[in-house]
Structure 1
Amino acid sequence: MRLLFRAFTVAVGLSLLAFYALVALLTYRALVLLWSVRPDPSVSAALVAGVVLLTAWANYRYGTPRLLASVDATPLVPDRAPGLYRRLDALCDRMEISTPTVYVARLAAPNAFALGGPRDGVVVVDRSLFRMLSGDEFEALLAHELAHLEGYDGFVQTFAVSALRTVVGVVALALLPVAVFLEGVGRATAWIRGTPTATPLSNDEYGVGGLVTVVAVGLTLFVRAYSRRREFAADDRAVEVTGRPLSLARALRRLEQATESPLHRFFGLPGPTPTGDETPLGRLLSTHPPLEARIERLVEQAEERDATAWSIPIR
């Protein structure tokens, strides 16, 4: 009886292997056919770029309303915050961009972020910032967010993510025949061994999924590194526009302190920051540099502007 069962499992395993091999072969032939009828390389590149741009534009255009709805943001009309809009209009005049719509939301942590571009921008601020920051600090934080609008940072990052997904998709498609065949090998091996209920070897164990993951992680690290550089650039632009690096440094320090628990503050222990994980891997995957690094750069800029600026406390 046992011999009969083993013969059955071997037969099923070989059948599965043949089936998956056939599917992999047909997939390979289809990809070869698709490759053979491809247009001129320049046309192909233009088509891929067009798809990436169209996808990025759609995410950029329709992602903003979804994000605003997700944080329950409500528009702040100028009549309710005339002082804020006076400062905002003055900043926009200096930067030669349109005045963005300001939304107030209840975010997970005190923060602000910008969406859109220089002509159709949106700035979202957490409601706690109005009681947490002074007028100059709030203005410096607004200037930072306006710098993101001025530099089209939102669209560039959306485009980069769309390009990343396209590249990863192309790599995964090119490896699809191999992935299908190795999936069949894993399932067939389990049957041939007489353990059909065992978990078959996955493509990750054969290295196919790992290759796709390496490509995805490598591109993700590049995009995140670019994002961190843009944060520093936005800080520099805010200082250039306002002329007050310490105001932005104080604002960032207040955001950092707001995320610390009273226990952390009492014992002087470091608490979590809005920038996320502070481990080496966390810093690599973060879209923002550590707040401490940004504050130190701003203090250095203040010292360069004024030899006595080091004596002004920001804590």
Structure 2
Amino acid sequence: MSAARDQPPSSGFRGRMLGVLAVLVAVNALFVLALLWGFLVLIPTTVGFVFTAETAVLADLLRLPLSPLLCLVVVVGFLGAQVYYGYKRVLTGSTAGGGDGEHAVARTVRKLAMAADVPAPAVRVVDDAEPSCYTVGRVTDATIVVTTGLIDALDADELEAVLAHEVAHVANRDVTLMTVTTLCLEITERMYHEARLVRRAMTDWGSLTTRERFVLRFAAPLAALVYLLVAPVLWLFPRAAGWATRQLSHAREYAADAAAARLTGRPLALATALTELGDTTTAPETDLRLVKTCALCIVPAEPVTGNDTASLPTISRPAGAETRAAQITAWLDGKTPSAGETFDTHPPVERRVARLREIAAEVEGRG
């Protein structure tokens, strides 16, 4: 396993991470400024022009909503809050407590982290029948969340390969960036959704919450102005954040697959794990608000819910290499090539499996 230390992520992956980071910072900065400008400049100026009919009033549209220094402070604070709170927010679906950290999964993660030369992430095993696994964290720490459904679905080698995939995310230093990127997507999508309240009221009144109906009852003119003026300004941001999420997610999954194959020396074990998870995991509906967890999972999956547990299912014995190879061939032969996943947060599973099979062939050729 020590070979993993000598093979850092490729320069292409590093370059993509830096590119996504630059886009993320720009999207966050422009998003905050757009919100401030929309509410503090655009709406007041428009209302003033309507009541005064003075074209000179429109010159105010060119000013900043706050002083440059204060704008910078707000943007930096917004980014810092995402880094700090994004870690906990993704974990809110499950409840901590009940795990002792000394079970087989935690021991395997510590062994893999030592081989990858990274601090061992915390491990949470959640009592949830949905097979799922993901890693979240900040700069200083990380947590791997594993469900009992995942442990029950995979054999010992497959489970180790999946855990190696998650440790690889820590080693590749993409965990914090992905956590913040998905939170940025959720925030921008939610704000655009809220800005379109009037439109949603006209098309589907029954879907509105009590709070939204209260706003329409007592602040309908303001809601209309927000829809007409602010919503068009915010339209671009969920799309830019979604693009950044997809670019990073696709690149980091391929990089983590390759790193996990090096860590364990068993690329076919990860390949069969992906086929199993790809066939049995339920992907979320196309609601971008669920992407905060979906994009972090090893394959697209519903958000994890449940309590931590130290009572693990029995881990089954691993299959032989020939059996795995035959299983992968049969699975790929039965698949129709696709351009991308329905939810579009991950590369197609069949492409990932095919790449892992190529890595296995290279390893066998060198052996």
Regarding TM over 0.5, the answer is yes
Which residues of structure 1 form unaligned runs of 5+? 1-16, 184-199, 261-272, 310-315
TM-score (norm 2): 0.53
- Specify the alignment match of 1:197 in structure 2: none
Structure with max Cα Rg? 1
Q: Is the 8 A contact 1:109 1:274 kept in 2?
A: no
Secondary structure at 2:164's aligned position in 1? helix
Q: Is the 8 A contact 2:341 2:348 kept in 1?
A: yes
2:117 is the alignment partner of 1:96: yes
- Specify the alignment match of 2:333 in structure 1: none
2:333 is the alignment partner of 1:275: no
Q: Is the 8 A contact 2:123 2:146 kept in 1?
A: yes
CA separation of 1:252/1:122 partners in 2, compared to 1, >3 Å: closer, same or farther?
Answer: same
CA separation of 1:135/1:157 partners in 2, compared to 1, >3 Å: closer, same or farther?
Answer: same
CA separation of 1:52/1:258 partners in 2, compared to 1, >3 Å: closer, same or farther?
Answer: same
Query: What is the aligned counterpart of 1:287 among 331, 345, 360?
Result: 345
Query: What is the aligned counterpart of 2:155 among 122, 134, 142?
Result: 134
Count of residues in correspondence between the two structures:
247
How big is the alpha-carbon RMSD for the aligned residues of Structure 1 and Structure 2? 4.7
TM-score (norm 1): 0.60
2:249 is the alignment partner of 1:227: yes
- Specify the alignment match of 1:248 in structure 2: 270
User: 1 CA distance for matches of 2:161 and 2:225?
Assistant: 50
Q: Is the 8 A contact 2:136 2:179 kept in 1?
A: no
- Specify the alignment match of 1:218 in structure 2: 240
CA separation of 1:140/1:28 partners in 2, compared to 1, >3 Å: closer, same or farther?
Answer: farther
- Specify the alignment match of 2:364 in structure 1: 306
- Specify the alignment match of 1:71 in structure 2: 94
User: 2 CA distance for matches of 1:48 and 1:169?
Assistant: 19
The Cα shift of 1:60 comes to 2.9
2:67 is the alignment partner of 1:38: yes
1:221-259 CA deviation, whole Å, 9 max, x = no partner?
A: 232221121111111111121121111111112212334
User: 2 CA distance for matches of 1:256 and 1:90?
Assistant: 26
Query: Any residues of structure 2 matched to 1:140-219 within 5 Å, and which?
Result: 140-161=161-182, 209-210=231-232, 212-219=234-241
> More relative contact order in 1 or in 2 (CA 8 Å, sep 6+)?
2
User: 2 CA distance for matches of 1:105 and 1:302?
Assistant: 32
Which residues of structure 2 form unaligned runs of 5+? 1-45, 200-220, 283-297, 302-335
Larger CA deviation: 95-104 vs 283-292? 283-292
State the AA in 2 paired with 1:275.
Answer: P
The Cα shift of 1:109 comes to 2.5
1:47-87 CA deviation, whole Å, 9 max, x = no partner?
A: 355224312223235425xx2x42345453244x2x43432
User: 1 CA distance for matches of 2:225 and 2:339?
Assistant: 25
State the AA in 2 paired with 1:258.
Answer: T
Aligned identity (percent) is 27
User: 2 CA distance for matches of 1:163 and 1:251?
Assistant: 30
